[in-house]
Homo-oligomer: A and B are copies of this chain.
Amino acid sequence: MNFPSNKYIIQLLSDFVPISKDMEEIIIKHLEFKTISKQENVIREGQIAQECLFILKGCIKKYYLVDGEERITNFYTEGQVVTPNSYTNKKPSKYFLTALEETIALVGDPDTEQEALKKYPQLASVTGIITEKLMVKLSDEFDNRINHSPEERYLQLIKERPDILQRVPQYQIASYLGIKPESLSRIRKRLKS
């Protein structure tokens, strides 16, 4: 896989959080990468995450196992941050994170995070913004689940993340929508007419 350029990385990052010119250099100097191969687990149930990721290329799914069956709650792709709950609270993870494709990501770990904050206090605002964004996003997802039917959520997915439909098999989309593959198939049929 061809490696993402610095320019592309800064582009993605600044879409996510405002970055000043002088911070760009600091960031580029301290970048740490990680490559995750297809099917590889970033974290397993019961583990405590030691790092968080910013995805540059690829796709990662988050899911629980219920009676051996995957319940997918999220897909993370280019430009998204994966901050495992267990990274924040240092308790065993309740879910899995698994790459659906070969994935390249920026890595953040607590030590370098602390170090960086000491060296560059102006980064504090960035981490604050990130936490807040995650909070808002989580509660938005929550609302979404509560207020919309699987069919509505499927239509929304088509509109907002059409790439996901291309790169993720349908039975996993079904899991994400909270239904069985057969039901998604029927929804698709219904929508054709």
Contacts and interface: CB of A to CB of B under 8 A. Distances in A.
Describe A's contact surface by its main secondary structure.
Answer: helix
A20 interface: no
Copies in the complex: 2
Interface residues of A, number: 22
Interface string A88-111: 110000100000000000000000
A142 B143 contact: no
Interface string A126-153: 0000011011101101110111000000
A189 B90 CA distance: 43
A178 B146 contact: yes
A136 B85 CA distance: 7
Interface of A: 64, 66, 71, 73, 85, 88-89, 94, 131-132, 134-136, 138-139, 141-143, 145-147, 178
Contact of A135 (B66, B135, B146): B135
